[in-house]
């Protein structure tokens, strides 16, 4: 009786189930192979993820380093601006000292006209006033007050009231507006912080500033921290040599009061772009010592960048605390690191999927080979050939840093071939976009590796014919006879690291041809002996690089044209610069040929590789 279709179906092997028989001696070996393949695929995934994290951290670190450079420049700019302005105020007070020493009798009108000529609000923004304070002994006080009252100030008296061993009194203070009139006749020596600065200026003969004070000019609700700057006056003669003599000769001070917020806004404007400046008194960061905060409404926060700098001004210490604000931190370029991170994860996972698919296909092929007919064995041979190809691919993947990306690219090609004309529209564009991103990431990884290796051992020093070396390098990159090379070298024979020089020339030639805006052009190479070094000039007649962007072109990941127009990672010139500088040379740019193009000029020390630079 012929078997039924049901019985045939029941007897047919299930291709998704591995046949298990007691006499299958090869099963343990196959199981071990499958286990090893699974472990190997997991290992490749782990390595891919580890390399992705390393690349991500490297790129992220570079981005942060660039931001740190910008932050340090801003810090130095702020510090320098404050130092320069305080030096200018010191010079202004010394001018008043010169006026007093040049005349035996400086009247109130003389002082007013002198200060008006200084044009304080325009030339010295932030200064509250410009004055002269003098010592008044108790026995001289009645005579002094009477003289001031006779000048048109009938209610004048030294303030605060009370008897003291020594008084100081603000005699002149311009502009004599409502705020400064509050300080007229004030005894600054009666207040501890002011007294310390006045004593220091008097005893040393040098400019001194006080600690944080509240100025007597504060008559509105807009109260600011203040300080005062003092220049000692000893009469028409120079400062005496000893402390005792200076104390005996001291007459008074040319001085200026400052409101700190007005001062800082006069130096740097009403706001600081992207950073926060806080100034603390006495060189200590403490809430009580805070004199100025450019962002008074902001909390302590958690800034990504912070700098604390001691600034000594007028024999007194300030502490400048500069921190980054969110707008500055938003300038950090995390996009490149995100590309590396997510692209690396995608590549690793896709490679893992390919390898797992390979393991599954191999297991099925071996199971089918053990239980099927000769016809199926022929099919198994086809599968074996496919397995061999996959094994070869997997071997390359395990030994090549960029194998995951190449594997994904191969897979995309196979998919395009399998689908043929069925792949069109949006899927086809997406497939093209995937392959383009793979090529970009592969180039980026390769260039990062090249950059890290740049300048290392690049061959031994040997005597070469530089004209022949230049032409050989050009022949390696030219794509036809459309580009013309001209070489001018003196002398012909030089001793250099052949491999290093050749690689730099190849990179420059390749860069010129790739970015040329015409199908034909000229490249001129000139070499000169400058005594202790050789100078090379590689010039072309291409589109050139604007002068404002030339330095930027040497930075990592910088491209001057969109990557959709010209493929590149933006690392080429950075690699060239690092290779040259590692040998002790330099590279810069100049104008190219016939009013077009760009010229790269680099030097190569003769000592490179001979006990000088490595």
How big, in percent rounded to 5, are the helix, strand and coil portions of the chain?
50, 20, 30
Least confident of 183-192, 228-237, 441-450: 441-450
Write down the pLDDT at residue 210: 95
Least confident of 128-137, 372-381, 383-392, 586-595: 383-392
Alpha helices of 103-162 — where are they, by DSSP H? 108-118, 120-123, 141-149
Write down the pLDDT at residue 109: 94
Strand partners, 275: 324
Write down the pLDDT at residue 155: 93
Q: 165: helix, coil or strand?
A: coil
Q: 534: helix, coil or strand?
A: strand
Average the pLDDT over 174-202 and give the result. Answer: 94
The string of pLDDT tens digits covering residues 465-515 is: 999 989 988 888 887 778 889 999 888 899 888 888 888 888 888 888 888
Element (H, E) at 87: helix 27-102
3-state secondary structure 358-426: HHHHHHHHHHHHHHCCHHHHHHHHHHHHHHHHHHHHHHHHHHCCCHHHHHHHHHHHHHHHHHHHHCCHH
Average the pLDDT over 52-70 and give the result. Answer: 72
**Is residue 8's pLDDT more than 70?**
no
Write down the pLDDT at residue 609: 56
CA distances from 391 to 46, 269, 357, 394, 395 (A): 19, 68, 12, 5, 6
Round to whole Å and give the CA distance between 324 and 61.
17
Q: 13: helix, coil or strand?
A: coil
Least confident of 59-63, 442-446, 571-575: 442-446
The string of pLDDT tens digits covering residues 389-422 is: 544 544 444 445 556 666 777 777 788 777 777 7
Average per-residue pLDDT for the chain: 81
And the tokens for 330? 């938003």
And the tokens for 613? 């630079």
Whether 71-331 shares its CATH topology with 454-605 is answered no
Distance of CA 215 to the CA centre of its chain: 41
Strands 461-465 and 306-313 come out as unpaired
And the tokens for 317? 């210490």
Round to whole Å and give the CA distance between 349 and 347.
6
Residue of 572 and 315 predicted with greater confidence: 315
453 CB-near residues (< 8 Å, 6+ apart):
none
Average the pLDDT over 217-240 and give the result. Answer: 90
Global pTM?
0.49
Write down the pLDDT at residue 9: 42
**Is residue 612's pLDDT more than 70?**
no
**Is residue 25's pLDDT more than 80?**
no
Average the pLDDT over 91-96 and give the result. Answer: 93
Round to whole Å and give the CA distance between 168 and 187.
5
The string of pLDDT tens digits covering residues 476-486 is: 888 777 888 99
CATH topology of domain 454-605: Heat Shock Protein 90 (3.30.565)
Residues across the chain:
614
Q: 136: helix, coil or strand?
A: strand
Round to whole Å and give the CA distance between 410 and 386.
14
Least confident of 25-34, 202-211, 446-455, 467-476: 446-455
Write down the pLDDT at residue 436: 62
Assign residue 455 a region: left if phi > 0, alpha if psi is -120 to 50, beta otherwise? left
CATH topology of domain 71-331: Beta-Lactamase (3.30.450)
Residue of 40 and 109 predicted with greater confidence: 109
Residue 282: pLDDT band (50, 70, 90) is confident
The string of pLDDT tens digits covering residues 308-344 is: 999 999 999 999 999 988 877 776 655 556 666 778 7
Is residue 366 classed exposed, middle or buried when 0-12, 13-18 and 19+ CB atoms within 10 A define those classes? Answer: buried
**Is residue 449's pLDDT more than 70?**
no
The string of pLDDT tens digits covering residues 293-308 is: 988 877 777 888 989 9
Domain ranges of the chain: 71-331, 333-440, 454-605
């Amino acid at each position: 009786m012929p078997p039924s279709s049901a019985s045939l179906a029941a007897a047919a092997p299930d291709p998704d189930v591995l046949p298990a028989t007691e006499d299958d001696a090869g099963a343990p070996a196959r199981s071990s192979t499958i286990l090893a393949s699974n472990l190997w695929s997991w290992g490749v995934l782990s390595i891919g993820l580890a390399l992705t994290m390393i690349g991500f951290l490297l790129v992220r670190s570079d981005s942060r380093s660039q931001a740190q450079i910008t932050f340090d420049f801003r810090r130095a700019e702020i510090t320098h601006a404050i130092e320069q302005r305080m030096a200018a105020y010191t010079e202004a007070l010394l001018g008043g000292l010169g006026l007093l020493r040049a005349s035996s009798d400086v009247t109130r009108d003389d002082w007013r006209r002198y200060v008006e000529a200084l044009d304080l609000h325009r030339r010295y923004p932030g200064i509250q006033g410009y004055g002269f304070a003098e010592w008044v002994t108790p026995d001289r006080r009645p005579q002094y007050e009477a003289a001031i009252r006779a000048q048109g100030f009938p209610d004048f008296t030294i303030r605060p009231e009370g008897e003291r061993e020594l008084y100081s009194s603000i005699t002149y203070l311009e502009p004599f507006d409502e705020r400064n009139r509050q300080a007229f006749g004030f005894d600054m020596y009666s207040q501890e912080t002011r007294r310390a600065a006045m004593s220091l200026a008097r005893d040393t003969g040098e400019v001194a500033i006080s600690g944080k004070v509240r100025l007597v000019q504060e008559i509105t609700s807009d109260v600011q921290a203040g300080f005062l700057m003092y220049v000692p006056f000893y009469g028409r003669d120079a400062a005496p040599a000893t402390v005792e003599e200076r104390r005996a000769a001291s007459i008074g001070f040319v001085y200026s009061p400052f409101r700190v917020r007005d001062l800082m806004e006069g130096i740097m404007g009403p706001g600081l772009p992207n950073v926060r400046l806080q100034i603390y008194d006495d060189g200590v960061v403490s809430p009580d010592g805070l004199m100025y905060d450019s962002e008074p409404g902001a909390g302590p926060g958690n800034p990504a960048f912070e700098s604390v700098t001691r600034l000594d001004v007028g024999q007194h210490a300030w502490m400048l605390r500069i921190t980054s604000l969110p707008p500055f931190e938003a300038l950090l370029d995390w996009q490149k690191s995100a590309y590396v991170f997510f692209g690396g994860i995608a590549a690793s996972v896709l490679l893992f999927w390919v390898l797992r698919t390979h393991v599954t296909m191999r297991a099925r092929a071996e199971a089918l080979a053990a239980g099927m007919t000769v016809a199926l064995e022929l099919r198994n041979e086809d599968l074996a050939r496919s397995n061999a190809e996959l094994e070869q691919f997997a071997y390359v993947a395990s030994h090549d840093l960029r194998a995951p990306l190449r594997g994904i690219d191969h897979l995309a090609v196979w998919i395009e071939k399998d689908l043929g004309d069925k792949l069109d529209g949006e899927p086809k564009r997406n497939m093209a976009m995937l392959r383009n991103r793979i090529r970009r990431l592969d180039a980026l990884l390769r260039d990062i590796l090249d950059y890290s290796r740049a300048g290392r051992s690049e061959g031994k020093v040997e005597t070469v014919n530089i004209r022949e070396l230049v032409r050989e390098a050009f022949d390696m990159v030219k794509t036809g006879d459309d580009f013309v090379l001209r070489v001018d070298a003196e002398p012909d024979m030089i001793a250099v690291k052949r491999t290093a020089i050749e690689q730099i020339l190849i990179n420059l030639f390749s860069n010129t041809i790739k970015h040329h805006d015409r199908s034909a052009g000229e490249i001129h190479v000139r070499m000169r002996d400058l005594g202790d070094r050789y100078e090379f000039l590689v010039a072309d007649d291409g589109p050139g690089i604007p002068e404002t962007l030339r330095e930027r072109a040497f930075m990592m990941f910088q491209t001057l044209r969109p990557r959709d127009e010209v493929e590149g990672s933006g690392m080429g010139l950075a690699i060239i610069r690092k290779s040259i500088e590692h040998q002790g040379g330099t590279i810069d740019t100049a104008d190219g040929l016939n009013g077009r193009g760009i010229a790269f000029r680099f030097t190569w020390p003769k000592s490179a590789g001979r006990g000088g630079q490595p």
